[in-house]
């Protein structure tokens, strides 16, 4: 019998455009909001000694118990309120699979995976545009919530790719007005020093996502974690794949936490480089630079963003083209790199007319 | 506003019982069909040298291109027909999310994740019991296919926990009668030397799942791969999370493939130990031992399986209790271990009355 792909493919998948990444050879990689510093050599040595004794042939601990225990201590939250994922992406997916009974609400512009995962999990997504300052349009948002009570609301904090953190008051208002879950994606919160963690015991519909990818410089290892009420964690644990976090990443996460101070050195450098980069960029009249609290900067050149993107690439520098037709028209996003990488970027940008 | 979990939780999730694993301290672990031999020390040394140069701070290659290239060479299949996952579990999930427009068909007894993932992805599952010889009841199956044309049919080959491989003719008949996908889970095929891979170019609805967890002794690394027609791979790639396979597992998979002969030594030992274990077990009158082509053995003691399970555990030996009310009544499953581990198991079992 001939296979009828049109018949067996879910309708929501047919038109789906998946998350795309650039695969370009470059000397200076400032496109993916990665930490520019590799994991410290000294800690790598500890990891490799550890892995030598590690049993590769055994399945990972499905609960990542030891890593969770250390995390709980670190962020001062009960273990029962934490679960780990193969990156935050997987936790977004598990949350959506468990709680996607009604619609999800996402803002635009924001991290595209919230919407993509909602589509993949076959739940309706409502997109509400941010205002001109890239803050939440609270009236439209509350009106939608009141009428539809979405199951899930995804909020980047700070938001990607805009870089800003939305007003805390507005978010609290949203949490208080919703019977669904408010998922605060705090992937970049180590660079903003702002978090909703102090409110985690106050609201049982507040969920926080964190990651080892950015501040810890472990994007390759895919370690994300979620903090939420026991009820939410219980359901996500039911839905998540049993051996989702491989045993080697679990070991690496444990070592990163045990040597947190060494890891955190990179954060300070990135924050100071961000200030320097911002200062210099704001002096360039050929671009408009948006404020940021993350490890990346959004800017809009006066000439075509495509031209600027290509000019940078011809100099071996890869950034991210986030331009589209609406609020991000002609916009580009650059990740804060090492001092020398930022210099290389500035060198090209400063010549723009 | 008070959160109404009953309202936002998907109905399919409410009653879901997730995959459970035993967490018991034991000296001899024969419960999870793992390879009893750790990854060879010599290869570990190569891995650790490799990881020393590896950039932990960069996101993984979303396509796992290098690993895929080596795999394509190894199994002699076009790269476009392969995609990789965070274990086969994730590929089962992606297949279900993409192609779950209608029902899924699973057999009983079989690997429980097929049904669990269908439930999580909110698609109806039809369960058809195997016959008394643990083979497919082809009449019932074809009747269901003809009437309902399920989107997905999952077949363990060899099947877990029964250990046998279903008749090839019946499976070919199913493939030819279906407009949906036939997903052959060949996690244990290195121990059976049987595979549907030679038919992969013949049927565009044939999908094969393989893993590095068993034969390669890399259960901790979570490397699964799928072989299917370009059309199937294209849709699964749209649905899968972009950075699903962490970069360290990618490196380890590459090294395992480059040194395949060293990895494969374990397979021969396991197969010969399986024969020895089977021979000895079949002589024990207090148990009935089922034939097997996998790295585990299903058996039914005459006394209560719970008693046997506990007796083994009190001797530091953990196996898997698969007993339920139907075809697996009073059954236990033991993984083929190292010679000394199998001896320890036999020592207890041989004393049964």
pLDDT band at A325 (very low <50, low <70, confident <90, very high): confident
Instruction: Tell me the two tokens of residue B201.
Output: 């170019």
Residue B287 phi, psi (nearest 5): -135, 155
Measured between its terminal Cα atoms, the distance across chain A in Å is 62
Claim to verify: residue A151 and residue A287 sit in the same structural domain: no
Claim to verify: residue A226 and residue A247 sit in the same structural domain: yes
Give residues with Cβ within 8 angstroms of A29, minimum separation 6: A318, A335, A337, B58
> Does the predicted TM-score (pTM) go above 0.90?
yes
Cβ of B220 within 8 Å of Cβ of A55? The answer is: yes
d(CA B9, CA B2): 14
Of B260, B282, B306, which residue is a domain's last? B260
Q: Chain B partners of A5 at a C-beta cutoff of 8 Å?
A: 231, 235
Cβ of A86 within 8 Å of Cβ of B244? The answer is: yes
Instruction: Tell me the two tokens of residue B219.
Output: 């259960």
Residue listed under structure tokens 């409502």: A126
Q: Is residue A7 part of a domain?
A: no
Q: What value of ipTM does the predicted structure carry?
A: 0.96
Is the Cβ–Cβ distance between A350 and A291 less than 8 Å? no
Q: Chain A partners of B89 at a C-beta cutoff of 8 Å?
A: 241-243
Is the Cβ–Cβ distance between B337 and B30 less than 8 Å? yes
For an interface test with B, which of A2, A4, A8, A236 has the most B Cβ atoms less than 10 Å from its Cβ?
Answer: A8
Cβ of A13 within 8 Å of Cβ of B90? The answer is: no
d(CA A202, CA A19): 34
Is the Cβ–Cβ distance between A145 and A105 less than 8 Å? yes
Claim to verify: residue A91 and residue A200 sit in the same structural domain: yes
Cβ of B242 within 8 Å of Cβ of A35? The answer is: no
Claim to verify: residue A90 and residue A191 sit in the same structural domain: yes
**Rg of chain A in Å (alpha carbons):** 21
User: Which chain B residue shows the shortest CA-CA distance from A113?
Assistant: B241
Give me the pLDDT at residue A2, please: 72
Instruction: Tell me the two tokens of residue B11.
Output: 């109905």
d(CA A149, CA A145): 5
Give residues with Cβ within 8 angstroms of B48, minimum separation 6: A48, A51, A52
Q: Is residue A246 part of a domain?
A: yes
Give me the pLDDT at residue A296, please: 98
Reported as half-sphere exposure (CB side, CA atoms, 13 A), residue A299 has a value of 28
* Share above pLDDT 90 across residues of chain B, in percent, rounded to a whole number: 92
Q: Is B137 exposed, middle or buried (0-12, 13-18, 19+ CB in 10 A)?
A: middle
Residue range(s) defining the domain that contains residue B322:
10-38+264-349
Q: Chain B partners of A244 at a C-beta cutoff of 8 Å?
A: 86, 222
Q: Chain B partners of A180 at a C-beta cutoff of 8 Å?
A: 3, 8
Claim to verify: residue A225 and residue A131 sit in the same structural domain: yes
H or E element: which one contains B108? strand B104-108
Claim to verify: residue B271 and residue B230 sit in the same structural domain: no
Per-residue pLDDT at B192 exceeds 80: yes
- What integer best gives the mean pLDDT of chain A? 95
Claim to verify: residue A106 and residue A219 sit in the same structural domain: yes
Chain length of chain B = 353
Q: Is residue A216 part of a domain?
A: yes
Cβ of A8 within 8 Å of Cβ of B93? The answer is: no
**SS3 at position B135:** coil
Q: Give the DSSP letter string of B154-189.
A: EEESS-TTT-PPPPHHHHHHHHHH-SSEEEEE-TTH
Cβ of B181 within 8 Å of Cβ of A51? The answer is: no
Cβ of A219 within 8 Å of Cβ of B89? The answer is: no
What is the arithmetic mean of pLDDT over B322-335?
93
d(CA A265, CA A286): 33
d(CA B79, CA A274): 41
For an interface test with A, which of B33, B38, B58 has the most A Cβ atoms less than 10 Å from its Cβ?
Answer: B58
Q: Is residue A8 part of a domain?
A: no
User: Which chain A residue shows the shortest CA-CA distance from B38?
Assistant: A57
Of B260, B295, B328, which residue is a domain's last? B260
Closest residue by Cα to residue A81 from A209, A248, A187: A209
For position B273, which CATH number holds? 3.90.1150.10
Claim to verify: residue B224 and residue B270 sit in the same structural domain: no
Claim to verify: residue A64 and residue A125 sit in the same structural domain: yes
What's the pLDDT tens digit per position in A131-185?
999 999 999 999 999 999 999 999 999 999 999 999 999 999 999 999 999 999 9
Q: Is residue B1 part of a domain?
A: no
Question: Could you count the other beta carbons within 10 Å of the beta carbon of residue A337?
Answer: 25
Residue A150 phi, psi (nearest 5): -60, 150
Q: Is residue A56 part of a domain?
A: yes
Chain length of chain A = 353
What is the arithmetic mean of pLDDT over A303-312?
97
Residue listed under structure tokens 């031209």: A307
pLDDT band at B316 (very low <50, low <70, confident <90, very high): very high
Tell me the sheet residues that pair with B152. B104, B181
For position B101, which CATH number holds? 3.40.640.10
Of A258, A290, A325, which residue is a domain's last? A258
Per-residue pLDDT at B147 exceeds 80: yes
Claim to verify: residue B233 and residue B291 sit in the same structural domain: no
Claim to verify: residue A68 and residue A126 sit in the same structural domain: yes
Q: Is residue A211 part of a domain?
A: yes
User: Which chain A residue shows the shortest CA-CA distance from B95?
Assistant: A9
Claim to verify: residue A49 and residue A34 sit in the same structural domain: no
Residue A276 phi, psi (nearest 5): -65, -45
Give me the pLDDT at residue A144, please: 97
Q: Chain B partners of A101 at a C-beta cutoff of 8 Å?
A: 7-11
Q: How many domains, in total, are found in chain B?
A: 2
Q: Is residue A14 part of a domain?
A: no
Cβ of A56 within 8 Å of Cβ of B221? The answer is: yes
d(CA A28, CA A319): 9
Tell me the sheet residues that pair with A184. A155, A208
Residue listed under structure tokens 């480059």: B258
User: Which chain B residue shows the shortest CA-CA distance from A151?
Assistant: B8
Is the Cβ–Cβ distance between A89 and A117 less than 8 Å? yes
């Amino acid at each position: 019998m001939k296979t009828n792909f049109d018949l067996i493919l879910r309708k929501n998948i047919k038109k789906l455009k998946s998350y795309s990444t650039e695969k370009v050879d470059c000397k200076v990689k400032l496109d993916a909001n990665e930490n520019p510093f590799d994991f410290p050599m000294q800690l790598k040595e500890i990891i490799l000694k550890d892995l030598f004794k590690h049993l590769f042939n055994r399945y990972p601990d499905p609960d990542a118990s030891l890593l969770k225990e250390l995390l709980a201590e670190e962020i001062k939250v009960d273990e029962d309120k934490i679960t780990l994922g193969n990156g935050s992406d997987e936790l977004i997916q598990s949350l959506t699979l468990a709680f996607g009974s009604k619609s999800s609400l996402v803002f635009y512009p924001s991290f595209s995976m919230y919407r993509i995962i909602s589509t993949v999990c076959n739940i309706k997504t409502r997109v509400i545009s941010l205002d001109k300052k890239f803050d939440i349009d609270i009236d439209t948002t509350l009106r939608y919530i009141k009428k539809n009570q979405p199951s899930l609301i995804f909020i980047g904090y700070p938001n990607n790719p805009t870089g800003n953190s939305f007003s805390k008051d507005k978010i609290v208002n949203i949490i208080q007005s919703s019977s669904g879950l408010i998922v605060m994606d705090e992937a970049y919160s180590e660079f903003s020093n702002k978090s909703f963690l102090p409110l985690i015991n106050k609201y049982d519909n507040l969920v926080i996502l964190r990651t080892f990818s950015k501040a810890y410089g472990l994007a390759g290892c895919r370690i994300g974690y979620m903090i939420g009420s026991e009820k939410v964690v219980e359901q996500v644990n039911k839905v998540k794949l049993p051996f989702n976090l491989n045993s080697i990443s679990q070991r690496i996460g444990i070592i990163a936490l045990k040597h947190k101070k060494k890891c955190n050195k990179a954060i300070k450098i990135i924050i100071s480089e961000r200030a320097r980069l911002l200062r210099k960029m704001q002096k360039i009249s050929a671009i408009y630079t948006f404020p940021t609290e993350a490890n990346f900067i959004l800017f809009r050149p006066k000439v075509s963003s495509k031209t600027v993107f290509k000019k940078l690439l011809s100099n071996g520098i890869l950034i991210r083209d986030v331009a589209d037709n609406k609020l991000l028209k002609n916009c580009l996003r650059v990740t804060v790199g090492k001092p020398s990488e930022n210099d290389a970027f500035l060198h090209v940008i400063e010549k723009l007319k």
